[in-house]
Structure 1
Amino acid sequence: MARMTALYRNFAESDAPAVAALVSRLYPDRAVSATELLNADRDQQNAGSRHARFLALAPGGELAGFSAYDQSLGQFHPRRFRLEVIVAPEWRQQGIGAALYAWAETQLLTVNALTVRSNVSEDDEAAQRFARQRGFAEERRTWVSSLDVTHFDAAPYAGLEARLLAGGVQLLSAADLARQHPHDWQARLHALFSEVRLDVPRSDPATPISLSQYREWILEDPGFLPEAFILARTQGGELVGQSDLYRSQNSPDLFIGLTGVQRAWRGLGLATALKLRGVRYAQAQGVARIWTDNESSNAPMLRVNERLGFVREPARLSVVRHWPEV
């Protein structure tokens, strides 16, 4: 059978609904709305990141697939990039993925890239083969885990918050913090974030995120939920832990972003208590499922999730291609 002749062109803002719909259809855990997609693009633009998206259109004008590259804002390096190539199942085996990747490779070589990283699912052998054929090799694994909160049993944890409070730690939300400290609540959140994020496993070293960037990328994100951004605070007023839930406009589920506790306060059950508050929030909102992802080497957080009943889904393989340094 003859291959389909696709039309290829650069992305325009008017394409955002189609791109968001394709991502959300194929990868529900990455569901995104057009507004959220464009917001992320603006974050990249404002940070000075190199980023672009290239589309493949079927003869009738339907979006058949796209490729996109950008740079990680939290571990920025001018010559390290991220890449995704997505083709709708009904248009695969037509050479579209190869053409989309070839465009991205040309773009990355033009800017003298050192590395490019992408993700493939461990249960998608075709995608893994596609990556291997283009020089990618597995670097690490991340597990997506989900929890059905409609059947969650909180009884085993009934006394946890009371014990923490007796030990001098209370839980509150970012909304509570904003009401109590209207002039500097954002700076307080940023200070906590800047510390606990350093212990998150990552492929490249973390780079500083300023207060203004934190405000733009997190607090002004369309999915930010102040009541679901749970914090741990000492009697002296120091924030020592966080676990934040977000909602995509294109998904009924909630996503746990960063759960982190200052080193001196670990081992007390704070991470568990923070996540339990998130479960209660989801239940109160009628949300059936919350999910998160964790790097495979993050054993402490994986244990917390497993005890709470999170169920692992197929791993995401982080694959990387290196080019010689010149």
Structure 2
Amino acid sequence: MVPNLNIRPFEERDYPAIAEVLAAAWPDEVHTEAGLREHDKHAPEIRWGRFVAEVDQQIVGVGEYTQFEGMYHPQKFAAWITVKPAFRSQGIGKALYRRIMEAIEPYDPISILSSTREDQPDASLWLQKLGFVEKMKYWESRLDVKRFDFRLWAGKIEAVEAAGFELRSMKELESDPDYKQKLYDLWLEARLDVPRPEAISGVSFEDYCKWVFESRYYLPEGHFVAVDQHTGQYVALSTLWKTDGDYLHTGLTGTRRAYRRKGLALALKLLGIRFAQAYGAREIRTGNESNNHAMLSINEALGFVKQPIWADYVLTLKEEALSAKEGALA
């Protein structure tokens, strides 16, 4: 154990130091105080907490536990521990992990999810030693926006429009009094097909609006929707979000099941790339689960380059209780 180590609860004054820890551990990503504050806006039912590790009063590590609004279960948690590279292998991560486990113990947790990237083999090995089992893999892929050649995709957007679809940004659709509700309804259907490590849970319209329209990273000019001209229904979407760096991040890209195989997702992603070029972004980053072949194939064709693969790991502490219906049938 490193001398003069102090593990204490997070305080608001710690935001800049935590951003420094994350930036040191993940130098290819941008971490800021503003981004952390945005991250810390949770639905009321979510239990979460954070601890910092200090050595000689310098913050060198951070540990956090939380729950997911979109995969909510009152006894399922997620946890991440990050230590500055220069301070690793000194017991700091273990100390943070113990404090997290103590913090969630009163909630009778049944599982904990964590994740790391394949270029961090020590972290993967550590999780496995703790009993975590790999659950899901996914790639982040990146597109060099300035080098994208639209000539290779000539006519794709026009073909979709000729087939009876309007391709619009949310900024253009703000005159529709029901645009938020229509986007939410589309999102509800599209998210059903997104692979995830835990069971999906409901998200209210009110919470969705807070996540999207009240976010400092919401980019209405970069949120694109396909509208069926005959019904006015929003039938496909592809969203770009601002970051604190020189890149944009792709949120959800999806199509209602009845409207698939019409080229809608591809056309919307092309609109997004065109927007990113005009916006001055250096690249677009997106994430795809390793078995999501349909979206992976679109991104690969567009020129997105896969980065080191991420893996989700789950530690099962106790078996999930049977539901009342299952118990009655047993």
Q: Could you tell me the TM-score, scaled by structure 1's length?
A: 0.94
Aligned mate of 2:49, from 28, 52, 59? 52
Q: Encode CA deviations 1:163-208: one digit per residue, 9 max, x unaligned.
A: 1111001211010111x21x32211111111111111111222211
* Aligned residue in 2 for 1:291: 285
State the match for 2:98 in structure 1: 102
CA distance, structure 2, for counterparts of residue 320 and residue 66 of structure 1: 20
Distance 1:242 1:25 in 2: 35
- 5 Å-filtered alignment, 1:228-247, equals 228-236=222-230, 237-247=232-242
Which one-letter code corresponds to 1:239 in the other structure?
Answer: Y
Partner of 2:121: 125
Determine the structure 2 residue equivalent to 1:16.
Answer: 15
* CA–CA separation in structure 2 for the residues paired with 1:243 and 1:156: 20
**Aligned pairs, number:** 319
Alignment partners' CA distance in 2, 1:280 and 1:231 = 15
Q: 1:69 aligns with which of 62, 65, 68?
A: 65
Partner residue of 2:132? 136
2: CA distance, partners of 1:286 / 1:248: 13
Q: Is contact 2:2–2:92 with CA below 8 Å preserved after alignment? A: no
**CA pair 110-29 structure 1, distance change in 2 beyond 3 A:** farther
Q: How does 1:1-326 map to 2 (within 5 A)?
A: 3-27=2-26, 31-42=30-41, 44=42, 46-59=43-56, 61-178=57-174, 180-181=175-176, 183-236=177-230, 237-249=232-244, 251-325=245-319
Distance 2:211 2:108 in 1: 27
Identity percentage of aligned residues: 36
Cα distance in 2 between the residues matched to 1:264 and 1:28: 42
Taking only aligned residues, the RMSD between alpha carbons, in angstroms, comes to: 1.5
Give the distance between the partners of 1:218 and 1:24, measured in 2 at CA: 25
Q: Which runs of 5+ in 2 are unaligned?
A: 322-330
- The gaps in structure 1 that reach 5 residues or longer are none
Aligned AA (2:235): V
Distance in structure 2 (CA, Å) of the matches to 1:278 and 1:34: 27
Deviation at 1:58, TM superposition (A): 2.0
Opposite residue 6 of structure 1, the aligned amino acid is L
Q: CA separation in 1, counterparts of 2:288 and 2:180? A: 26
Instruction: Give the Cα separation in 2 of the matches to 1:12 and 1:156.
Output: 51
- How far did residue 103 of structure 1 move? 0.9
Aligned partner of 2:239: which letter? D
Residue type of the partner of 1:220? E
Shift of 1:121: 1.1
The SS at the match of 1:49 is coil
Tell me, yes or no, if the aligned pair for 1:138 and 1:320 is still in contact at 8 Å.
yes
Q: Is the 8 A contact 1:161 1:170 kept in 2?
A: no
The TM-score with structure 2 as length reference comes to: 0.93
